Amino acid sequence: MAAVPSPVSPVAEHRYHRHAGVVRGTHWINVVCFTLLLMSGLQIFNAHPALYVGERSDFDHPALSIQAHLSENGVVGETVILRHSFDTTGVLGVSSENGQVSRRAFPSWVTIPSYLDLATGRRWHFFFAWLLVLNALVYLVWGIASRHFGRDLLPSRAELCHIRREIVAHLRLHFPRGAAAKRYNVLQQLTYLLVVFVLFPLMILTGLTMSPGIDSAVPQLLTLFGGRQTARLIHFVVATSLSFFVIVHLVMVLVSGVWNNLRSMVTGWYDLGNPGMTDVA
């Protein structure tokens, strides 16, 4: 990738205020909530490590289950997804804990608390669930009032037309610099829209559907999601999708300039590179 210098390049123009205080604050509160909700959620899952469609939860026809059982090779971990069985010994079903074999769906290092304790896991989960809901409301109200969603997350028609070029650039790990780096690229915009307006609302709504107090007040939630067990299945699948998003998100933060990205999400200021440089590759 070559770069072409321009005649004017004042140092002050290198820096661009990319993220507003509310985006930064709610983003980091969300990082804490998401991590603790995932870990306490996996503790809750471990108490009954099978998911179903509909209303009933017997171990007969799970859509997904993680179990340990005895075989001629000893204790093995087995994960079954839609009747397809996978040997997941060492990670799911059976893992090692302090040098000992432990029979539990998710291993101790990904759950809160690390030992099996459903009641404590639920307390953590519900506390951070309400914090996440409050945080999401602040982000939503501010995002609408400041036109952040329409201005920064919604791609323009011209940006959508360039989606193929953007995918190729991403695969080649080419990231914009200069003025082009002031905006999220179209792949970021579409992904953030999916996360903010589809995945998080689904997490919150299915979580509320599983809460007896809420769904006795709003029974329509159970109809909407086709029963409590289906809501639980969707809650788990969306949690898994969000975890994949976070892994890709972190890889992109790393490869597209880790310090610059982190500084911008902490202080707001992003270094555009030499403003006189324009990518010509």
H helix or E strand, kind and range, residue 279: strand 278-279
Omega of the bond leading into 5 within 30 degrees of 0 (cis): no
Question: By CB under 6 A, is residue 112 in contact with ligand HEM?
Answer: no
DSSP state for residue 100 in the 8-state scheme: E
Question: By CB under 6 A, is residue 186 in contact with ligand HEM?
Answer: no
Question: Are 240 and 234 spatial neighbours (Cβ–Cβ below 8 Å)?
Answer: no
Question: By CB under 6 A, is residue 274 in contact with ligand HEM?
Answer: no
> What pairs with residue 70 in β-bridges?
75
- For residue 254, CA distances in Å to 47, 258, 277, 278 come to 36, 5, 22, 22
The nearer residue to ligand HEM, 6 or 35, going by C-beta atoms, is 35
Q: Which residues contact 48 (CB under 8 A, 6 or more apart)?
A: 57
**Interface pick for ligand HEM out of 3, 116, 195, 237 (rule CB under 6 A):** 195
Question: By CB under 6 A, is residue 253 in contact with ligand HEM?
Answer: yes
**Interface pick for ligand HEM out of 208, 221, 234, 272 (rule CB under 6 A):** 208
Q: Which residues contact 140 (CB under 8 A, 6 or more apart)?
A: none
Beta carbon of residue 7, minimum distance to ligand HEM (angstroms, whole number): 29
**Interface pick for ligand HEM out of 36, 78, 236, 273 (rule CB under 6 A):** 236
Site size toward ligand HEM, by CB under 6 A: 41
DSSP state for residue 15 in the 8-state scheme: E
Question: Given the rule CB under 6 A, which residues bind ligand HEM?
Answer: 18, 23, 27, 30-31, 34, 37-38, 41-42, 44-45, 122, 125, 129, 132-133, 152, 184, 188, 192, 195-196, 203-204, 207-208, 210-211, 232, 235-236, 239, 242, 246, 249-250, 253, 261, 264-265
